[in-house]
Amino acid sequence: MPLCPRCDNQVKATDLVCARCRLQLKAHGHPSIELHQATTDEVLCQTCAYDADDTCTFPQRPHARTCTLYQSITAEAERAQGTVRSPQPAPSLAVIWYRYRVWIILLAIFGISLLITVF
Size of the site for ligand SF4 (CB under 6 A): 13
User: How far apart (Å, rounded) are the C-alpha atoms in residues 83 and 75?
Assistant: 10
Given Zn ion, ligand SF4, none, residue 38, with its beta carbon under 5 to 8 Å by kind, binds none
Given 58, 72, 73, 76, the residue binding ligand SF4 (CB under 6 A): 58
Give the x-and-dash track for 16-45 against Zn ion (CB under 5 A): --x-xx-x----------------------
The string of DSSP letters for 46-101 reads GGBHHHHTT----TTTTS-SEESS--BHHHHHHHHHTSS----PPPPHHHHHHHHH
Contact between 4 and ligand SF4 per CB under 6 A? no
Contact between 60 and ligand SF4 per CB under 6 A? yes
**Greatest CA separation found in the chain?**
75
Given 3, 6, 65, 86, the residue binding Zn ion (CB under 5 A): 6
